[in-house]
Structure 1
């Protein structure tokens, strides 16, 4: 009656070993890393994992001799798993409070936005607001403390799932280092296992019907129609919306090449020159000319006639700028390039626009 299948022993020991090893590696490399090499820390983490796997074998052997002790082994290993998860989550919280997470080197903050990696963009965005960091830290530490109470454990596990899921999605789609994603996935595996041990109370809470409010009495087809409307109506509204990408073939960032002003070819701009270097054609027909520096820009709205390639722009920034910009824009020989001939102010302009991939 007190026996536990070896597969269950192996699963709990494997997950606990992964969580303990990953947390040991992260905490040791950050806080006790002076004089300790990373390969040595990783080796010790693997030793911990192997030790827990061997524990499953010893546990199974001891169970044959004393079946009554099996539940005690299970409680101890689950307790180690819970405590390690709580320590790791709480440490993540204090990392944010003490500015040890979501930090971008100051020198990178002046790099153009489009040149930053997904990891740098993520840290710069989240780290911009210290109160937000503290709020996330408080949530993580609260979940960690809830895990340690028998009555609050289920609530803590439920609360930590969306936090970890959000971290995993960010790590995946913003191209964080693989180790970061692996660590979050291991923590999620530990939380998932602990939730599965609480299947009965979870099913009782989420699937029980007797405490739900009484229905309206509508027939099933009406209910299903209303439910379908929740998904279909917003979809139809968005699908029929006049999306402001009026000229998708033009939308993008362009680098100016082969620039000629008044039929005189211009060489590469030197530092401080106000030569036209970039062109942006955006949603809503927004149009930007950049003159060798992001602080020197004309911003306005363009009109484009695909029939004859006529392109013109009206400026709204800087205030008081009324220099005419108009001409002909046609596709060039190479894909993603365009050739413009026209006027800017009192000068004739000819240039090649080369589209920059994101």
Structure 2
């Protein structure tokens, strides 16, 4: 709903109703908040962390992929090096935790489900459960593979790229397949809606099939926040970087933050801008992490030096939407 403000004196209302009244449309504040942008691009900041293991400093090719806020910390994954990074968003100190995963696993996303992590593995078309990082684990996280029942994933370079949990009700796991298809037929992203029963994942509803404008677009990094399903929608070549809200019934996308110009600019300053992780902390800040290298398969136990640095970026809240 919009309100019109008449730019004439009240005594002329009758006359002006015949002659017409010039008006200015003023957006309703609640509607404006829901439209976005919800975060402040101009006040975005790049943050530099201090890792307990120098191999996971931002100058190394650690390939950050997946990001989730939990218990006052940020948890990120090193895609090809089987590590979870626990980042303190205040002190920017990082603790690293190694996972006992198969060789050449590619962990593209993570989320928290109850008292453990769920991680999606693109190379093995798998979902793993792992313990949460803590002092008691001595820098190690045990893992186990969840059984996929009633649906299949295929491994490869265009596979599962994000996972999140709607605590519900209903309690559902969402898993995104970044892109399938070809130029001739068109490309689409797919989001699976799953229920979890102990160590099994099975469909709880039909998947969302989301057409992409062309086959350079993809959808990654799912995140539930304030009753909304967020994702990263990115394009390359023809760079575009957006945060979108996904309608969980129709699959329609609404852009709530366009970061394209900013992220093209940071690449010129030596930061990798292939963003693959997004989360929102309790203060309403939006955080991003980037995959800063293009490694086919990890050839070393820990990351080598990289050309571009891993980007950790914070966007302060501008005006946040109502809670759904």
When normalised by structure 2's length, the TM-score is: 0.23
When normalised by structure 1's length, the TM-score is: 0.22
**Higher relative strand content:** 2
**Higher relative helix content:** 1
More RCO (CA 8 Å, sep 6+)? 2
Larger radius of gyration: 1
